[in-house]
Every structure is written in C-alpha cells, then in structure tokens.
Amino acid sequence: MGRVGLVTVVVALVVTASVSACGGGSVEPEPSTCPSGTGSTGGAAAYRGVLVDALVALESPGVAAELACRLEVNDVRQAALVAPMDPADTFATESAYRTATAGQEGTFLPFFELPEGSGPDDVDRILREVGLFFRGMWVDDLSSVPGALVDAAAARALLVAGPAPDSLAVLDRLLGDHPGASVLVSAERPLAGLPDLLREHDGLVVVMQAPGLGSGDEWLPVVQAAPERVLWGSGVTSVEAASASSYDRVIADVRALLGGLPRPMREAVAAANARRLFGLPHPEDPDV
C-alpha cells in the first residue's frame, strides 16, 4: 500500500492494545505471548508515557496479531488502523475487519474514502448500509473534495481526513466554507502556515506523521497554536509496524520528539487528544 498519504481508498479502525490479540480477549485472558522487552525508549530525554498512534496503514489483516504485540511492547495503547475497503460491498468490508481484529478488545473507528467522482449520495448510501460502523471519511486529495460532500459528512458528524494539500490556501478555503466540518490533516513536516490555520479554524486537527517528524522544537509553533488539536501518527504500514526493528525505530523518533515539547503538552499530543477526538475509552476505564 505504501505511505498512508498515498492511500486511494481507505477505512480506519482503532484497536486497543491493552488487551492484545496475542493474549486473547476472554474473560480470563491467557498470559501474553508477545516477545518480552520494553520496545524503544527514544533516549534519556524522551517521553516515556503511554501513546496512541493515529495513523497506521493496514496492508495485510494477517499481521494484526503481530501488530498488537508491537503496540503492547512499545506501550502504544491504541492505534488508528487505516486499510483498504471495497465501497461497492461495504458489508463484506465491515465483516473482514471485524474478523481481522477478533480477539482484540478494541474500539472501532472506521474511515472510508469514496472513489473519484463520488458525491454526497454515495456518502448517504454507505452510511445507510453500515452507518454504525463508518464514522469518518479519508480523502486522498483535500483540494478536490466536493464542498457538498464535506457538508454531508459534517451533517453526520463524520471526520474528514487526508494528507496536507500542496497549497494550504485550499485548506483555508475548505474550512472557511464549511465551518461545521472536522478535518484531520497529516503532515510529515511542520508546514509554514499551519499554526495560523489552527488558530483560525477550530475544526482543523493536525497529525504529525512519521517518519520525517523532525524535532520538538520544529513542531512547537504548531503545537502551541492548538495544543488540544495536534496528534501523532507513525504513518507506517501494518507489515512494517509488526516488525520490531521498523516500528521500534519509529516509536523512538516519536518519543524523542515528544520529549522536546513542554511538559504540559506531551501527554495531550501523545495520547489524550486522540482519545478525546476519536471517542476512545481510557485503558484504565472499567469497561476497557
């Protein structure tokens, strides 16, 4: 599939790693069979708290158990899992992802992207079919999404997500014309103009996407502009994330970046913002 920003048709779901597929999801779970270890700490000055990964691309459902192990070992409690879907057969898509995450006590947050040329009627059709499953929409090009489609998504409280457009002026117009929309923008670098957009538009959320995150100092102006609306996402594929050497390296970079942020902002960007935005339960809640 490649990087998340290149995905053409996607659906996202959130899996909770606190009760991993490696250990089962029964009333009395078996001991975890994940490899022992502490994952990657990111260095002496790195952030060492829990994490929520807002962006992982699911390429193969068969690696879901291995992915859950890497999350557990790295203290990544939840992850938004972005994966291909078939918009022509939404029921089969929903069934496939429920099967892929069977045994993992998690909270699903599915996103879908409509094919080019689709409009509000397609949004309504999919939501009529599996409206309780899909809660958001990923678009590969925010500069070309029809305004009526954004309005339809906003009317249903759907999140609209996608990679940052080449011109942030396009994003400015989109948010200005559709103030009821919530738009998540993934960016590998702190693009000039993002702080001003965050201050101007309450519906904008920025996902700092790894690799290429940079340092905490570089991202600080973006975080300071709206510390409650900045998340982080690994941006790796599930196959990469299931690999210790690959995912641990990304998490080391993330923890190093978070360690460079002011202390009050670290936990918000690391996990709290994603939990609030996605409606995720806290791992310590009794019903988790």
From first to last of its 288 residues, the chain has per-residue pLDDT tens of 344 443 333 344 444 444 344 444 433 434 455 655 455 555 657 898 989 888 777 666 666 677 778 888 888 888 776 666 676 777 777 777 677 666 655 545 666 766 677 778 887 787 778 776 677 777 888 888 888 888 888 887 778 888 888 889 989 999 999 988 889 998 988 888 999 999 999 999 999 988 667 677 889 999 999 999 999 988 877 677 777 778 888 898 899 889 989 888 999 999 999 989 888 766 554 433
Q: Does the pTM of the predicted model rise above 0.85? A: no
Largest Cα–Cα separation, the chain: 53
The per-residue pLDDT for 4 is 46
The per-residue pLDDT for 161 is 82
The per-residue pLDDT for 222 is 94
- Cβ burial of 110 (10 Å; 0-12, 13-18, 19+) is buried
The per-residue pLDDT for 12 is 46
The three-state (H, E, C) secondary structure of 235-254, written as one string: CEEHHHHCCHHHHHHHHHHH
**CATH assignment of 4-24+42-278, among 3.20.20.70, 3.20.20.140, 3.30.360.10, 3.40.710.10:** 3.20.20.140
Task: Give the span between the Cα atoms of 9 and 5, in whole angstroms.
Answer: 11
The per-residue pLDDT for 35 is 59
The per-residue pLDDT for 54 is 86
Task: Give the span between the Cα atoms of 31 and 20, in whole angstroms.
Answer: 10
101: closest CA among 196, 10, 17, 212? 17
Domain residues of the chain, as ranges? 4-24+42-278
The per-residue pLDDT for 263 is 86
The per-residue pLDDT for 100 is 67
